[in-house]
Amino acid sequence: MANEVKKIALLTGGGDCPGLNAVIRAVTRTAVLKYGYEVIGYKYGYKGLYNNDIVPLTLDTVSGILHKGGTILYSSNKDNLFEYQVEENGKRIKKDVSDIAVENLKKEGVDVLVVIGGDGTLTSARDFSRKGVKIIGVPKTIDNDLAATQTTFGFYSALDVATEALDRLHTTAESHHRVMILEVMGRNAGWIALYSGLAGSADVILLPEIPYDIERIADKIKGRGKNGKPFSIIVVAEGAKPRDGEVVVSKIVENSPDPIRLGGIGNKLALDLEKYIDDHEMRCTVLGHIQRGGNASTFDRILSTRYGVAAVELIHKGKFGNMVCLKGDEMSYEHLENVIGQNKVVDPEGELVKAARSIGVSFGE
Ligand code: F6P
Residues 120-167: tens digit of each pLDDT: 999 999 999 999 999 999 999 999 999 999 999 999 999 999 999 999
Of 143, 145, 203, 300, catalytic: 143
Classify residue 138 by burial, with Cβ atoms within 10 Å: 0-12, 13-18, 19+.
Answer: buried
pLDDT (tens digit per residue) in 216-242: 999 999 999 999 999 999 999 999 999
Residue 188 Cβ < 6 Å to ligand 1: no
* Helical ranges in the chain per DSSP H: 20-29, 46-51, 98-108, 119-130, 155-176, 191-199, 214-226, 265-274, 298-317, 336-339, 351-358
What's the pLDDT score for residue 85?
87
**Mean pLDDT value of segment 192-202:** 98
Distance 223 CA to ligand 1 centre (A): 35
| C-alpha to C-alpha distance for 260 and 309, rounded to whole angstroms | 34
Q: Is residue 2 predicted with pLDDT exceeding 50?
A: no
111 included as an active-site residue: no
DSSP lists the bridge partners of residue 325 as 332
**Ordered DSSP codes for 323-335:** EEEEETTEEEEEE
- Strand, coil or helix: 186: coil
pLDDT (tens digit per residue) in 73-125: 999 888 899 999 888 899 989 999 999 999 999 999 999 999 999 999 999 99
Q: Is residue 258 predicted with pLDDT exceeding 60?
A: yes
pLDDT (tens digit per residue) in 9-25: 999 999 999 999 999 99
What's the pLDDT score for residue 3?
58
Distance 54 CA to ligand 1 centre (A): 26
- Percentage of the chain with pLDDT > 90? 94
| C-alpha to C-alpha distance for 42 and 32, rounded to whole angstroms | 17
What's the pLDDT score for residue 257?
78
End-to-end Cα spacing for the chain: 56
| Cβ contact 143:344 at 8 Å | no
Distance 15 CA to ligand 1 centre (A): 6
**Mean pLDDT value of segment 305-318:** 98
pLDDT (tens digit per residue) in 324-357: 999 999 999 999 999 999 999 999 999 999 999 9
The residue whose CB lies within 8 Å of the most ligand 1 atoms, and thus the one to mutate among 292, 344, 345, is: 292
The residue whose CB lies within 8 Å of the most ligand 1 atoms, and thus the one to mutate among 152, 187, 236, is: 187
Position in ligand 1 atom list of the atom nearest CA 261: 8
**Mean pLDDT value of segment 45-52:** 97
What's the pLDDT score for residue 227?
96
Domains in the chain, CATH or no CATH each: 2-153+296-339 (3.40.50.450), 158-292 (3.40.50.460)
